[in-house]
Structure 1
């Protein structure tokens, strides 16, 4: 699902090839998770650190349910990864480009005639695949109702406590139609979940397969991501023991949003995974094993006005560390990774607050504790 601009170091971060130096010393992941779980608003936390594909630390802290109930969350538990889904969807799109099934400069109108026939996207004959991948299409976001004065997201446009209504992707696109465009096609960066809802539909139309199947065939299966899947049908919850997130209703009462509404997320943020599996994808992507270099640069080349995401931190021990992440009501997930793709730290926190500032900053401190342990 998505607020998923939050915590996201965009897909436009530059990467280098694998380095030859051995991975640096790693701090205690369990202690880092215990510290994270002490952050106000964090119910439970899980994390896993990996070097060259090998686990070098796992941890979990807090509790499965609010107020210390439900016991401990297994360190290898599944969690919602939010907008980290987008990089996976983008990879599938660009694999289709590599196969000649579409081009990065193909227009939305030609790829999805339904958006023109039903007047769902303004200027669809000008918007390109490249622009949707890089959030420069100008298509407004279906997720946020209206921005706050400081430019951050406003209230979400759907009922977070409706766990059962099955929305079709084009229903979500329709929500964005009445909102003003955020710029000329290709003009500037403006984060929009609608871009990826549309890209998911393009994948399905070109392949003849549903998005979940295509992602499993191209990514989850080949990369050994055995505990990863795309949730699409409400009220689908997370398989296996896991942490529950909470979100305040209109009266301020905290309500369990563990199930969420899987039909809301989809290509914009519906993947459920583990620290191991997310790290496996991130390692393969960063090291250029999933796309030809020229297509990977569509995602990794920097934009002229990139956003500064919540939770963006630089390593204090001299390494270039990047972060990608996502959130929705009840959770925040981040994956920190080295520029050479050899090290990853994937963290998930279930929450009981709307404001993500403290949890995001706490995740940054967890990264420092793991990647830059005090000597």
Structure 2
């Protein structure tokens, strides 16, 4: 191609920009198709019960790589549990029970109270025995805990307390089998754990820990956990009214039903499972868009206006560092590489997973690349099994670990053109 003399300086620059843009757009298209292929592989995995519905989002900053709603929020089951002919499509706005994602909220309020000096992260939990209905008698602990090494609030938040998981107790399991709509008090949940053998003082996941944290919030503030979360967490973060802490089985708006499959095409509707069975460890309800906003706040400790998630006290700035002091997550529980205070790390991303009867989720954020992943499905049964959102997320994280960053691709494109132009000049 021939360029007039007066254009000779503009042409290489134009070519550089065009090449970089072409390389970046090609990479973006490939990224989207690659991520969608990962989603497809997990959504339609052979040998597993069909997932009723799913919402998945992957973002780079504020730009969506892919956002996908698949399947149904309501299978229109007949009396025998067979999906009917009038299912309702899954919507991004559907409310769902978010299970253990609730822990990220409960622990956030604990960290705010620590920043305010109301509690101390290294306070022995025995300090709160007898307050607000808290009764610790009968809870067994690892022998390493003693008067000089007490169980602390920090231990509750990072799952190193050795307190047994009430959710695995015979009393809790029998209650669920008899009637999933039964209402429980927080004290009743703690009572289920009493007499159970202690777990190791190293990391072991236990819902008992976070239920106790919610009770401590209520004891020191005099308010319900739901009110405390609305005032000090939901509203400051800017979450909608579709994120809330329910006290009964009802949803406030359009929602996705939660299902348990039998593997033979029959589904049980678990939507009426009473959230009081999980309290501060897993009772909350939220939506896809709110959780996308929340995970960035909880992973960075920073609100959209640049202020701290933990308030405006001088101690607030230190709370995110406290939160991210991780221990190896090598005990029984959901999959994490490491775990901090109500937050986990997987493949160097920060976030949390959750499972409640009928629902499984994961929300993750990578501070290094400003990437966000939100995966929500409306299927989970009584039996422990695969956690589809976590498995899908790990494949997405490994994909990103194996490919160069978009800025790198653009740089290589520019560098390649630069070498070509240099060679031509030397030949001239």
After TM superposition, the score normalised by the length of structure 1 is 0.76
Q: Tell whether the 8 Å contact from 1:44 to 1:349 is kept in structure 2 after alignment.
A: yes
Distance, in Å, in 2 between the alignment partners of 1:119 and 1:204 is 19
Distance, in Å, in 2 between the alignment partners of 1:99 and 1:63 is 44
2:375 is aligned with 1:357: no
Larger helix proportion of the pair: 2
Where structure 1 has 5 or more consecutive residues not aligned to the other structure, the ranges are 1-21, 147-154, 314-318
Distance, in Å, in 2 between the alignment partners of 1:234 and 1:116 is 22
2:32 is aligned with 1:27: yes
- Shift in Å, 1:345: 1.3
The residue number in structure 2 matching 1:14 is: none
Secondary structure in 2 matching 1:357: coil
Secondary structure in 2 matching 1:89: helix
2:73 is aligned with 1:64: yes
Q: Tell whether the 8 Å contact from 1:45 to 1:350 is kept in structure 2 after alignment.
A: yes
- Shift in Å, 1:102: 0.9
Deviations 1:210-241 (A, max 9, x none): 11111111111111110443443232246314
Q: 1:175 to 1:92 in 2, by over 3 A?
A: same
Q: Tell whether the 8 Å contact from 2:295 to 2:351 is kept in structure 1 after alignment.
A: no
Q: Tell whether the 8 Å contact from 1:43 to 1:352 is kept in structure 2 after alignment.
A: no
Structure showing greater radius of gyration is 2
- Shift in Å, 1:112: 3.5
Q: After the TM superposition, which residues 287-366 of structure 1 pair with which residues of structure 2 at under 5 Å, given as runs? A: 287-289=300-302, 290-291=309-310, 292-304=316-328, 306-307=330-331, 320-340=348-368, 342-351=370-379, 354-357=383-386, 359=388, 360-365=390-395
Distance, in Å, in 1 between the alignment partners of 2:94 and 2:402 is 25
Distance, in Å, in 1 between the alignment partners of 2:288 and 2:369 is 15
The residue number in structure 2 matching 1:47 is: 56
Q: 1:304 to 1:33 in 2, by over 3 A?
A: closer
Match of 2:160 among 136, 139, 148: 136
Question: Structure with the greater relative contact order (CA < 8 A, sep ≥ 6): 1 or 2?
Answer: 1
The residue number in structure 2 matching 1:82 is: 99
- Shift in Å, 1:305: 5.3
2:194 is aligned with 1:177: yes
Match of 2:118 among 97, 101, 106: 101
- Shift in Å, 1:84: 1.4
Q: 1:127 to 1:321 in 2, by over 3 A?
A: closer
After TM superposition, the score normalised by the length of structure 2 is 0.68
Distance, in Å, in 1 between the alignment partners of 2:329 and 2:260 is 34
Secondary structure in 1 matching 2:56: strand
Q: 1:285 to 1:234 in 2, by over 3 A?
A: closer
The residue number in structure 2 matching 1:38 is: 44
Distance, in Å, in 1 between the alignment partners of 2:318 and 2:218 is 24
Secondary structure in 2 matching 1:159: helix
Secondary structure in 2 matching 1:340: coil
Secondary structure in 1 matching 2:318: helix
- Shift in Å, 1:33: 5.0
Match of 2:277 among 264, 268, 271: 264
Q: How many residues align?
A: 336
- Shift in Å, 1:321: 3.5
Q: 1:144 to 1:294 in 2, by over 3 A?
A: same
The residue number in structure 2 matching 1:16 is: none
Q: Tell whether the 8 Å contact from 1:33 to 1:60 is kept in structure 2 after alignment.
A: no
Q: After the TM superposition, which residues 146-185 of structure 1 pair with which residues of structure 2 at under 5 Å, given as runs? A: 156=173, 158-159=175-176, 162-183=179-200
Distance, in Å, in 1 between the alignment partners of 2:358 and 2:135 is 37
- Shift in Å, 1:298: 2.9
The residue number in structure 2 matching 1:316 is: none
Match of 2:231 among 197, 200, 217: 217
